[in-house]
Amino acid sequence: MSTKKIKLLSFDLDNTLYDNRPVIKRAEDKNKQYLAQEFARQHIAFNFERFIEIRNELMLLKNQSAHSENWELENLTYLRKKVLEQFCQPLKNSAEITEKALQIFLKYRSQVKVPIEILQLLKQLKPHFHLVSVSNGNCDPYQTSMGTYLQKHYAPQHGFRAKPHQQMLQVIKQEFDLTPENILHIGDQVETDGKAAENASCQFFYFAPFEQEQSVSVSCNELIDHLNL
């Protein structure tokens, strides 16, 4: 498919525009630290394995969401809150503790380190295309250095179906008054990003600069070349 008609670039966030592994680890560690303190304060045994069990159970339901009524679990913020609600049930003021634990996680979830090469890439692309982000995760890009380059952000927290469902790309098409061939979706997961683009009849570019064998600058140059800039 020709790239000449591309007018909008939609970027996945996690592991596409930054390495998400240290971000998630820190957010999880801060979340666990706070919960451990609250359980200790109330002299209740802290079993984080139970937290993981609950999360795995709800993640399984999430992964079955395409064939059930559980699609709201595709909103990972909602899913985490449900996990916290169950895990914190033994505590007094469990609703308050659940909400604070959630906000701690979300705070650190958006503290990402975006490589200078990625920021330079976005700066180079911005005069030529509409730039938006389309993510299944719960990072807020407007709390990061990427925010100044992105016109809009789409995620399940806004009421949309998660990729590989095509809904977010379809909404972009409508809001920007574009045809599918005008949209190039860029991401690191063929199973979600690639399939979402296929389902929406949009173009897709595989972009995974944080895999071990990849170089961020090389990956950025490959995208620039693909766009004939």
Residue 3 is assigned to a structural domain of this protein: no
Question: What pLDDT is recorded for position 168?
Answer: 98
Question: What pLDDT is recorded for position 67?
Answer: 53
How far apart CA 106 and CA 211 sit, in angstroms, is 25
Residue numbers of the domain that contains 29: 22-109
Question: What pLDDT is recorded for position 45?
Answer: 96
Task: Kindly give, in sequence order, each residue whose CB lies less than 8 Å from that of residue 29, ignoring residues fewer than 6 positions away.
Answer: none
For residue range 145-196, list pLDDT tens digits in order.
999 999 999 999 999 999 999 999 999 999 999 999 999 999 999 999 999 9
Q: Look up the pTM and report it.
A: 0.91
The type of residue at 140 is: D
Last residue of a domain, one of 56, 85, 109: 109
Question: What pLDDT is recorded for position 49?
Answer: 96
Question: What pLDDT is recorded for position 2?
Answer: 66
* SS3 category, 205: strand
Residue 1 is assigned to a structural domain of this protein: no
Q: Which residues of the chain have pLDDT under 50?
A: none
